[in-house]
Structure 1
């Protein structure tokens, strides 16, 4: 019996229909639930030799981790942090790419009660200053790859709360702790804390920074029930198999990694496949799927677009049973070609950093409707409302909201607990028993949702979420820029690419040389993937009477040009 049945009280195969699932899906937990102890340690006892993760390095190195390995290593990690003075509630940022250290380090923080903040290795010094100060980060654990330590050290004089820094892979840097070496010397026994150190289901466990359009990144925090929100993700939507091998393509700096590389997959007792590649290559990924016999797979539409360009007949994908996608809308042609070449459908899902999977096309009960987000997932009462909060009729576009009134079941598992240190923003987004997602859609007569766009203009490019404000702020630092607006332009490969519409300061003229200079400036001022691939120079920006930039008009003009 897979462990997830303990929390649902029944097998997923016992649900006779989607109606049955929606009506009877219910998660049962104790008020001191902790994924580290109540899932990983239980799996370590029940199937100690069961494969938890197959990790493959860019150079071909292989590492196999059993559930017992993860249990013992997470105990070592918890003891390491405790020995360094990290306590329950302290903030620890993890910048570990796809390094295997991420998994047991995250679990160790869960057991200790410290708050984990996953972050991308693409951050610059400026990004670290803001994030460390905003969240009062006490410690960072980072990869020895790339130039992460250099960026952190550059930021450190302005980081008011950072006390400790640890680096993996034996990288020797003055002032940095050798994480792997010190972890090896720690005890692999860590008793469940009691008293003041005890963790509770409603305590803060995890925090993400997510891009917005009207300010710096928001701090989204989740409690200890968050992993159980991914019962739907892993066990039902990904359809992971006991003793199978699930592959979600994501860096651990992004929330998608927690959707597809740990919580729901291990609740379903499937191993996860982690390939620590440097640059995506469709032939390389397909070769790994063939070699390691991947059984379930999830990737953003961008990557499927690259993969269908390959001769899929060259690869033995016979072990593959189920495919999913999220992050952006799936192109019907991609769906059709993948199905024609593999015989497998691609099931879409929708969610945010603030949620887990809340809208889906669910195997085996639903035929994917090309272009649709699907139906609300069990436990998630989604509604589409107008600006006054009234439910929109079928076919009318409105904002997707989550109902959270107690009479209807309250806050669903996986919904965030608020924006850290920003009660005003929390109340603005979540009021009158409605959490406002900021995404717009319309419902059809059957209840399927059809995505329209993001209210706050966040750009989704190759699976990344990019907030225009950060890019605009970087551009405005350049002396040639008087004002600017950043929008997304549809792209057949990346979904959208970042475009900057720029008004130049007096004495400057638009040129290819200036475009290159501005692009490089953004790459050095913020995470490089955010730079504008298109820059258009104009005399003035379209604005409202009150002086606000009308990005919608820019997008409309771009569509007319296509």
Structure 2
């Protein structure tokens, strides 16, 4: 048992946790398990230490390089920073090899990783530190300014890397380390859900959870081999990025190309120059990448993955027509760690999110948990090899986990073939004059207009209709923004789709507000109105 028992004390009681589906042999583990041994140490033991593990435009690390640096950092954590098992350690960094080394070092030493998005500010960092009672922070010196402003009674040590004190401490440390002998159901990481105002929700994930997701989505959709090179835009602090850029490649002995600032041009340049084979990014990014394909050679790609938001059919079709590659859509959640509904090239139905992947079950339910008939929109309920475990938030746990199922907050429908189709986020349904209008439906139509590059649809309060459909649009040619074009788009929409869904308000914007993971921040659009 961890010496610091914070997570034990705050995990939800067993009766509040979801039902788990762990019958298959690949999801069964011994009682004592440190996930690092399978993800990193085993490659050294099997004689593959010289294989490339991490790449950037400036550097190449082998598995042995990562192993030795992680071991040295683990010594620093224990010997110099006073880490005891169960301590939470904050990680603040863009995607780079040293962040990965720190991630592994924390778990090797028996700590619990709390990785944070690079754009978070002092107030948000302080909230996270106070919530999780974090005593140690490891931070990229490029992001030191906000970190140095943090003041918390819990935070005892800050250490910085990139030509700073962490490397100085590492220099004298051994390159071997005896991993902490953790249990399979010890917490290895805490993920904070989107938004850090008030009391944010902390989701806990075990060592076994981390290995289980490596057996699920990659085998189902990607079929990775050691020759694969992964790349993507999501931050490693986002579990989509952690899985796709660290856990999955390393579980299968492959490699990952890390970008600190993943602009579309840098993403495409890396794919071209380094013959990347698997790319993961958000729907908005896939649309921009498609528009730039004539400038780069992406013929090395064999798998493309989209998550974070639902993938509009027009984006899928445009990419497929340009490359012949089928983008794999998927839905996951921080609460369940990674993707649980998706598809592969054999069973894909364009426009649908897909089917429950190996290890998961899903259904559509009403407000009372009763399963609905096919083709009826309702709440998405999921259970499987991972599940929601909020720390110290019993009221939120009861909302998310009902009768053993995880209720994700998404509105889906299931067709006659069993495929799940996204309808809306629970809070993105627009009810106007008695009509239920899903924002994603309106967006999918608008994205087929020849002048529209990006759009985000929200509902705005209205005295007469209850809500109005408001479309926030980024034009391909911003000089065309004019009231005449707004009217033209509205009339075109009425001819293209059901007229009651047309956007009665249109705003032309320079850009859409987005999170670091590429999700459109619709709440900001509502606030601006």
CA distance in 2, matches of 1:97, 1:262: 14
Q: Does 1:44 align with 2:44?
A: yes
Which residue does 2:108 correspond to in 1? Answer: 111
Which residue does 1:255 correspond to in 2? Answer: 239
- Change in Cα spacing, 1:50 to 1:427, as seen in structure 2 (3 Å) is same
- Change in Cα spacing, 1:212 to 1:500, as seen in structure 2 (3 Å) is farther
Q: Does 1:142 align with 2:143?
A: no
1:156-555 to structure 2, matched below 5 A, reads: 156=151, 159-170=152-163, 178-193=165-180, 198-211=181-194, 216-228=199-211, 229-277=213-261, 280=263, 282-310=264-292, 312-355=293-336, 356-363=338-345, 365-366=346-347, 368-403=348-383, 412-416=384-388, 418-456=389-427, 496=456, 532=524
- Change in Cα spacing, 1:313 to 1:536, as seen in structure 2 (3 Å) is closer
Look up the SS of the partner of 1:382 in the other structure: strand
Which residue does 1:512 correspond to in 2? Answer: none
Q: Give the Å deviation of 1:215.
A: 5.2
Contact between 2:160 and 2:166, CA under 8 Å: does it hold in 1? Answer: yes
Which residue does 2:32 correspond to in 1? Answer: 32
CA distance in 1, matches of 2:108, 2:403: 35
CA distance in 1, matches of 2:403, 2:260: 44
CA distance in 1, matches of 2:24, 2:527: 52
Contact between 2:88 and 2:135, CA under 8 Å: does it hold in 1? Answer: yes
Q: Give the Å deviation of 1:86.
A: 0.8
Q: Does 1:74 align with 2:70?
A: yes
CA distance in 2, matches of 1:298, 1:535: 30
- Change in Cα spacing, 1:87 to 1:499, as seen in structure 2 (3 Å) is farther
| Long gaps (5+) in structure 1 | 1-21, 57-61, 172-177, 404-411, 459-486, 503-521, 524-528, 538-562
- Change in Cα spacing, 1:235 to 1:214, as seen in structure 2 (3 Å) is same
Q: Deviations over 1:326-351 (max 9, x none)?
A: 11121222212211221211111111
Q: Give the Å deviation of 1:170.
A: 2.6
Look up the SS of the partner of 2:259 in the other structure: strand
- Change in Cα spacing, 1:396 to 1:420, as seen in structure 2 (3 Å) is same
Q: Give the Å deviation of 1:77.
A: 1.6
CA distance in 1, matches of 2:312, 2:402: 34
Contact between 2:53 and 2:63, CA under 8 Å: does it hold in 1? Answer: yes
- Change in Cα spacing, 1:25 to 1:303, as seen in structure 2 (3 Å) is farther
CA distance in 1, matches of 2:455, 2:237: 21
Q: Give the Å deviation of 1:313.
A: 4.2
- Change in Cα spacing, 1:535 to 1:456, as seen in structure 2 (3 Å) is closer
CA distance in 2, matches of 1:213, 1:188: 37
Q: Give the Å deviation of 1:121.
A: 1.6
**CA RMSD across the alignment:** 3.0
CA distance in 2, matches of 1:249, 1:238: 18
Look up the SS of the partner of 1:43 in the other structure: helix
CA distance in 2, matches of 1:143, 1:456: 36
Q: Give the Å deviation of 1:112.
A: 1.3
Q: Give the Å deviation of 1:69.
A: 1.6
Q: Give the Å deviation of 1:535.
A: 5.2
Look up the SS of the partner of 2:105 in the other structure: helix
Q: Which has the higher contact order (CA 8 A, sep 6+)?
A: 2
How many equivalent pairs are there?
A: 434
Look up the SS of the partner of 1:338 in the other structure: helix
Q: Deviations over 1:108-133 (max 9, x none)?
A: 11111111001012111211221111
CA distance in 1, matches of 2:379, 2:284: 25
CA distance in 2, matches of 1:142, 1:24: 39
Contact between 1:442 and 1:451, CA under 8 Å: does it hold in 2? Answer: yes
Look up the SS of the partner of 1:133 in the other structure: helix
CA distance in 1, matches of 2:250, 2:256: 8
| Long gaps (5+) in structure 2 | 1-21, 430-438, 448-452, 463-512, 515-519
